[in-house]
Amino acid sequence: MITTEPGASLDALPTYLPDHKKSKAFENGPRLVLGTSGLGGVWGGVDQQQSEEAILYALERGALVFDTAPSYANAENVLGAALKQWNGERPFISTKVGRLRAETAHDFKLDYSSDGIRRSLENSLKTLGVDFINLLFLHEPQLVEASEIPRILETLQSFKEEGLIHRIGLGGNLTQSFRPFMGKDKFEVVSGFLRMNACNLDAFSDDLAFFKARNLAYYNASILHFGLLGSRLENYSENYERESGWLKKRDLQIARSLKKLAEREHMGLPVLAQRYAFGIEEADRIVVGAKNREQIERTLDDWEEGPLPKSLFDTITDIISSFYRI
């Protein structure tokens, strides 16, 4: 076992996946998921028409899985408007309940009541212009009182019985209180973030063993670690104390090491990080974000390039794991 700071350990390392486009956990459907928070404007203002055009461009490029939420500002409206213009195959859609519409990522309005959850789902169906949601996530599970989980799960299960949704998942990292409620016909999917990428492998602790034992599917989100592996490395380095609530010093150290590796490989750090994440077999689906068409184009180009060569993938894994050793 590889150990690091108290409370963290790695029981395994990522498995390399060269054939990266299909997901066995989702009936060999597409593995790539386009997240819509940026296109909805939650990270800053966007033009709705340009966001709609960006989604249509993604659809034309073969992106057929989308993740959205009421709290992603105008994202559901943007996706719904784009789908009305789309004449091709209906995409797989996930959305969320529990966290209400917000204009920014830092605006938290919650409603986990049964009536509130139903209203949220009904509004999402109407806004998206669809008859059912493929996968409904309970948003921000870490904010749910443990005593409320059975009632919430029963409410979500009733949506399945009505044909309004097909699967139920957690829209956030797994918490201890939810573990008894995970499995077939319960919460079957976890959309985790900041725990399986090129600067952090915390998911390779007891989480993945638990997922396997319960036959849970894993959506891997925030593969650029909230921009640390993108364009925000220097900003986070200079303002670590402000971000220390979620950002670990180890993450920063690994990111700096990978930046040097990316330079040696004549590759941008975001490209290196994305293509590393694409090759992690333990991620049943990969969620990528974008704010405009240009970012979508770059990401889809990286997706077509595929995972890094195995030798480089293994080098990155070795770098990451070395920071976990005492």
Q: Where are the domains of the chain?
A: 2-324
Q: Which stretch of 7-16, 23-32, 61-70, 164-173 has the lowest confidence by average pLDDT? A: 7-16
Q: Within 10 A of 130 (CB to CB), how many other CB atoms are there?
A: 18
Q: Are strands 217-221 and 165-171 parallel, antiparallel or unpaired?
A: unpaired
Confidence of residue 326 (pLDDT cuts 50, 70, 90): very low
Taking the C-alpha atoms of residue 283 and residue 273, their distance in angstroms, rounded to an integer, is 14
- Are 34 and 40 within 8 A, CB to CB? no
- Are 92 and 64 within 8 A, CB to CB? yes
Q: Within 10 A of 242 (CB to CB), how many other CB atoms are there?
A: 10
pLDDT at 8: 62
Confidence of residue 6 (pLDDT cuts 50, 70, 90): very low
Pull the structure tokens for residue 55.
């989604």
Query: What mean pLDDT comes out for the span 21-47?
Result: 96
Q: Which stretch of 19-28, 59-68, 183-192, 206-215 has the lowest confidence by average pLDDT? A: 206-215
Name the nearest CA neighbour of 226 among 203, 255, 206: 255
| Secondary structure (3-state) at 162 | coil
pLDDT at 3: 40
Positive or negative, the Cα torsion across 215, 311, 225, 244?
positive
102/154: higher pLDDT: 154
Percentage, residues of the chain above pLDDT 90? 90
Q: Which stretch of 16-20, 189-193, 204-208, 214-218 has the lowest confidence by average pLDDT? A: 204-208
Q: Give me the CATH code for the 2-324 domain, please.
A: 3.20.20.100
* 189: β partners: 169, 217
Q: Is the pLDDT of residue 224 over 80?
A: yes
Q: Is the pLDDT of residue 1 over 90?
A: no
- Are 212 and 218 within 8 A, CB to CB? no
Query: What mean pLDDT comes out for the span 106-133?
Result: 97
pLDDT at 2: 40
In the DSSP assignment, the letter for residue 194 is S
Average pLDDT, the chain: 95
Query: What mean pLDDT comes out for the span 151-159?
Result: 99
φ, ψ dihedrals at 285, nearest 5°: -145, 150
- Are 249 and 257 within 8 A, CB to CB? no
pLDDT at 161: 98
Confidence of residue 106 (pLDDT cuts 50, 70, 90): confident
Is pTM beyond 0.75? Reply is yes
Taking the C-alpha atoms of residue 11 and residue 38, their distance in angstroms, rounded to an integer, is 34
* 191: β partners: 219
- Are 285 and 24 within 8 A, CB to CB? no
| Secondary structure (3-state) at 192 | strand
Query: What mean pLDDT comes out for the span 43-54?
Result: 95
pLDDT at 4: 44
Q: Is the pLDDT of residue 25 over 80?
A: yes
Q: Is the pLDDT of residue 5 over 60?
A: no
pLDDT at 10: 86
Q: Is the pLDDT of residue 273 over 80?
A: yes
Query: What mean pLDDT comes out for the span 56-83?
Result: 98
Confidence of residue 105 (pLDDT cuts 50, 70, 90): confident
1/74: higher pLDDT: 74
Number of H helices, E strands in the chain: 12, 12
Is 259 exposed, middle or buried, given 0-12, 13-18 or 19+ CB atoms closer than 10 A?
A: middle
The string of DSSP letters for 98-112 reads: SB---SSTT---B--
CA angle, corner 131, sides to 159 and 184, nearest 5? 35
SS3 breakdown of the chain: % helix, strand, coil, rounded to 5? Answer: 45, 15, 40
1/309: higher pLDDT: 309
Cβ-proximal residues to 166 (8 Å cutoff; 6+ apart), any chain: 132, 133, 134, 135, 160
Please report how many Cα atoms fall inside a 13 Å half-sphere around the Cα of residue 169, on the Cβ side: 26
* 217: β partners: 189
Confidence of residue 78 (pLDDT cuts 50, 70, 90): very high
